[in-house]
Amino acid sequence: MFAVQIAKALGAQVTAVCSTGAAPMVRSLGIDRVIDYKKENVASCGRLFDVVIDVAVRLSVENYRCLLKQNGICVVVGFSPIRHLISHSLAGKRDGKKIVLCTANNKINDPLLDMNTLVETGKMRVVIDSRYAFDDTAEAIRRVETGHPKGKVVIEINKENARFVRALGML
């Protein structure tokens, strides 16, 4: 959700792929076109894109290549089965189209700090799917693992829980 909001804030035309239930919320973010993956296969939508950002990783490398314009780039953010990891990591750049894996790093990067400005000016908002008490963390993880939350799943940490979380080095 952040990626589409950042793209819109930078003036891009954005097509989002989501389920039927998530479509109204996604449209509320100002998306130009929504493709319901339950009704339409994005790989055969007949449109080409400069950039594809995929966090669900349910398409093959060839599907990504079919979606990209010449010199287009696909950024793959997450993985499900190990075969996707292997095929996508070996994909690299071919035919002027590039597929890259996005990995996390903990470096402070000025462009990331620009997101603060987007939030402060109302150009980007955090969409919360659900909130869970710290004691219900297992349930929150199950919610995320369904693959269908319509926003961020938040685990609320109070002062008592914060000591425990800090001791684990997570806060």
Q: What is the pTM of this model?
A: 0.59
Tell whether 153 and 89 lie within a shared domain.
Answer: no
Tell whether 83 and 133 lie within a shared domain.
Answer: no
Predicted local distance difference test score (pLDDT) of residue 82: 47
Strands (E), 45-170: 49-54, 68-76, 93-94, 97-101, 128-133, 152-156
Predicted local distance difference test score (pLDDT) of residue 73: 84
Identity of the residue numbered 28:
S
CB–CB of 78/57 below 8 Å? yes
Task: Specify if 116 maps to a domain.
Answer: no
Predicted local distance difference test score (pLDDT) of residue 43: 84
> How confident is the chain (171 residues) per 10-residue block, as mean pLDDT?
83 90 88 90 86 79 85 73 52 63 53 68 82 86 79 82 65 46
Query: Following DSSP, what letter does each residue of 106-134 receive, concatenated?
Result: ----HHHHHHHHHHHTTSS---EEEEEEG
Token pair in block for residue 163: 């000591």
Where in the sequence is the domain holding 24, given as residue range(s)?
Answer: 2-101
Model pLDDT for residues 100-125, shown as the tens digit of each residue:
655 544 455 555 566 667 777 877 77
Task: Specify if 88 maps to a domain.
Answer: yes
The residue among 47, 53, 52, 97 whose CA lies nearest residue 71 is 97
